[in-house]
Structure 1
């Protein structure tokens, strides 16, 4: 080998040795053992370049929220449970939903003992007189309700992400609740709930509190912090005589404020709720409260039957529950409004969405209020004008079709009996007795826009068909 060739070989060997040392040092810097000492600069590089799959708790924190991640605490009394248990049993799923009913005293009576397997397991609230003595609280009932949050939380369930507190006269739509909560990071501090529909209730208590009967939802870290501070907070605010306000105040001291959700309904209303339920806001329905204070929501049914009937529709599609869909049958100048799973209306005039979306004031405010405003939403008065008063139909049945659609049927509640609207050609809808609504068997979770629909109706037929579809781009219903 010539001297020149030997020089080239030595040069190449030196280059390969240097490259090897560079690669080795790079491996140590970026992928070395994190327990080994290193400078802050090297540590920051190592963290930045750690592969995503090796970051701690990724599978736990990023996995999709499901029903097993929710823990329910339902506050009730032994006396009221005799007639309220049907409310909870309409949505409670034995051996699936997690949680407890907190009773004031042990259950008694042949209708409660033995305890129903369709009801949540019960626990008896802690010794309230003892707690009152320790905290000097002015209201034993308020103390029991607020302290109940800690009592449910301390039971502990593996994998719980959200604590849901509510009353025993509420119904929850758990699938919708799961879908909503899945959009939030359960490792952060969240305090969810709804306002009262009665504007003065918010004024009297707070516009920043969740009205707890309909549901207060706390992320696990917030529930943990609140439970840890519970006794101290009850002592600080022993003078407060409202449970929901006390809860809000304790949470505010942790540094968290209410994130209101439209689908949580306190129902601080009285009487006929049909006008409210027929114009639900464009959001997933999560809860309905105060069923003892309103009329049965379906004609010819009692409260318990009404709630099970509503939940029958929910078993097929919770994402569309009460969602309002409006469309027109222009050849007859009719407007259809469907509150999925609850009611359908026919107006004998082409009406804009903006008008139909305002609930008809069939209900009364929570308390007498001589002057408006009474509600936290717009309303329209009931009317005897045949161009403004709807023909009213209520949900009758639901089934899945061979074409993988969901068919809900709505039947006339009563004859309207006020004549025909003469505005647009004298087309009476009085002879229509049944409306069939076809909707896709697909969830609609991200509701950025309501659905549209097409009407099929033959002249003289007592049945009309409403077929749901996604709205076309820039489609206007007016």
Structure 2
């Protein structure tokens, strides 16, 4: 014990020295680890720039459009691009084989902000086209719009969107839909045809070009580099979209299906298709020259402009179907917002209301698969008076508080036993719809209420979010 007490100062000195060494070692290792971590982060960033974090939301500035047209068709179809294009915030090009004959057409495209610029496609005469039943060599040129659009070398690109000169896009909805995908990964986004035979022949994995499709920039950049060598292997194919699909398939990428793209391989009155739109934003419509005007007593162009009047107020809600039940008279009301309201004179089960009514004609008649579609349909009743009353959009407005009011006027029909024959207008009130990330990933239909009214000429309906456990059912 005496010995320990005698050597106590030395022991304290040893302990202090050991502590200092430990602290120094700890500080040295901490600094070394921190420095090494920074070096690793910098190395990763330099070697793989495509993996860099981009937290900013996707906007229309991140989209580049490639539109396939021709010198002959563009003068007649540019009116469709005017519905949705704006040079102030959109980038891209309309690819033509030759410049339009009209002398003023080039100047119009430069001066008019509602028209995209024109680009003359590259020569494709060195590519073979061997589709046996015939077809058009222009399919090669149109397919190469993908490559030539990428080679425009725009900066800050996340998505390339492709379509025809008669493809009508809804840009805000495109941005919202594509924003749920990571553009740094390889995505091929589109939809197949409504016509079962066409989808069966060309494949349910192919995005039809008329409906439009989108490629993430990371995929498009790689595809552009290998595209010419690839399409030489597919000279036997019919169309441009089949060539694009084949080359994307060779890169190992499959179709990401988005039901908002509409090829519209249908003829005549497409009311049934529009009135039963799926739970996703409307992205495109095609073939306006083939189908009837979507609103009665209007030209085709005017009816589409009328639809855009609603889309410009609430783009994400356009054509979204909401169904509610009126208890007093046992009526079923189906609202395709911004387009039409259907009033059924009796209670109809919700799954039956959601089926597409066959108001249209098949793309091809007298074929084995004629009248077979890629969605659920229901036949129209042979008696027009037993079909639902249709009220078409008359006007839409938004007030300073963000309340949106749309009015729908009854389409004329003369049925003596119509219980709602005095009803002339249906007024729909709602707030602006926002397909947020939750609604995009797991969409849920909204609910509606028929509001009390003393007028036999007017019905008022309010659309709202459904409550947590609320059911949409007939009472």
Change (3 A) 1:416 1:350: farther
In structure 2, the partner of 1:20 is 24
In structure 1, the partner of 2:3 is none
What is the DSSP-based 3-state SS (H/G/I as helix, E as strand, rest coil) of the residue aligned with 2:316? coil
Q: CA deviation at 1:63?
A: 2.3
Q: Does 1:440 align with 2:437?
A: no
Runs of 5+ consecutive residues of structure 1 not aligned to the other structure: 36-45, 421-427
In structure 2, the partner of 1:95 is 88
Change (3 A) 1:352 1:244: same
Report which stretch shifted further, 68-77 or 106-115.
106-115
Change (3 A) 1:283 1:136: closer
In structure 2, the partner of 1:126 is 122
In structure 2, the partner of 1:425 is none
In structure 1, the partner of 2:268 is 271
Q: CA deviation at 1:335?
A: 1.1
Any conservation in 2 of the 1:76–1:168 contact (CA below 8 Å)?
A: yes
TM-score (norm 2): 0.90
Q: Does 1:290 align with 2:306?
A: no
Superposed counterparts of 1:336-351, under 5 Å: 336-351=333-348
Q: 1:198-230 CA deviation, whole Å, 9 max, x = no partner?
A: 000011221211101111211112111211111
| Aligned with residue 31 of structure 1, among 27, 31, 35 | 35
Q: CA deviation at 1:31?
A: 2.9
Q: CA deviation at 1:19?
A: 2.1
In structure 1, the partner of 2:60 is 67
What is the DSSP-based 3-state SS (H/G/I as helix, E as strand, rest coil) of the residue aligned with 2:107? coil
Change (3 A) 1:319 1:75: same
Q: Does 1:168 align with 2:135?
A: no
- Partner Cα distance (1:432, 1:274) in 2: 21
Q: 1:85-125 CA deviation, whole Å, 9 max, x = no partner?
A: 11111000122111100112112226625224120001011
- Partner Cα distance (2:363, 2:130) in 1: 28
How much is the aligned-residue C-alpha RMSD, in angstroms? 2.5
- Partner Cα distance (1:50, 1:123) in 2: 40
- Partner Cα distance (1:332, 1:402) in 2: 35
In structure 2, the partner of 1:39 is none
Superposed counterparts of 1:373-452, under 5 Å: 374-384=372-382, 388-417=386-415, 419-420=417-418, 428-445=419-436, 446=439, 448-452=443-447
| Count of residues paired in the alignment | 455
Change (3 A) 1:418 1:156: farther
Q: 1:207-259 CA deviation, whole Å, 9 max, x = no partner?
A: 21110111121111211121111111121112222211111111111111111
Superposed counterparts of 1:233-382, under 5 Å: 233-368=230-365, 369=367, 374-382=372-380
Any conservation in 2 of the 1:137–1:235 contact (CA below 8 Å)?
A: no
In structure 2, the partner of 1:146 is 143
Any conservation in 1 of the 2:453–2:460 contact (CA below 8 Å)?
A: no
Change (3 A) 1:165 1:25: same
Q: CA deviation at 1:64?
A: 1.5
Change (3 A) 1:231 1:316: same
Any conservation in 2 of the 1:268–1:366 contact (CA below 8 Å)?
A: yes
Any conservation in 1 of the 2:362–2:370 contact (CA below 8 Å)?
A: no
Change (3 A) 1:108 1:403: same
Q: 1:245-277 CA deviation, whole Å, 9 max, x = no partner?
A: 111111111111111111100000000011110
Change (3 A) 1:137 1:95: farther
Q: 1:368-421 CA deviation, whole Å, 9 max, x = no partner?
A: 14666511111111125588511101111111134421111111121252623x
Change (3 A) 1:415 1:128: same
Change (3 A) 1:248 1:349: same
Q: CA deviation at 1:18?
A: 1.4
What is the DSSP-based 3-state SS (H/G/I as helix, E as strand, rest coil) of the residue aligned with 1:12? helix
| Aligned with residue 115 of structure 1, among 90, 105, 108 | 108
In structure 1, the partner of 2:469 is 474
- Partner Cα distance (1:19, 1:373) in 2: 82
Change (3 A) 1:268 1:372: closer
Report which stretch shifted further, 225-234 or 366-375.
366-375
What is the DSSP-based 3-state SS (H/G/I as helix, E as strand, rest coil) of the residue aligned with 1:285? coil
- Partner Cα distance (1:433, 1:109) in 2: 47
Change (3 A) 1:257 1:121: same
Change (3 A) 1:371 1:256: closer
- Partner Cα distance (2:147, 2:50) in 1: 26
Any conservation in 2 of the 1:352–1:477 contact (CA below 8 Å)?
A: no
Runs of 5+ consecutive residues of structure 2 not aligned to the other structure: 1-5
Any conservation in 2 of the 1:164–1:217 contact (CA below 8 Å)?
A: yes
Any conservation in 1 of the 2:176–2:435 contact (CA below 8 Å)?
A: no
Report which stretch shifted further, 224-233 or 55-64.
55-64
Change (3 A) 1:77 1:354: same
In structure 2, the partner of 1:8 is 12
Change (3 A) 1:371 1:246: closer
TM-score (norm 1): 0.89
What is the DSSP-based 3-state SS (H/G/I as helix, E as strand, rest coil) of the residue aligned with 1:252? helix
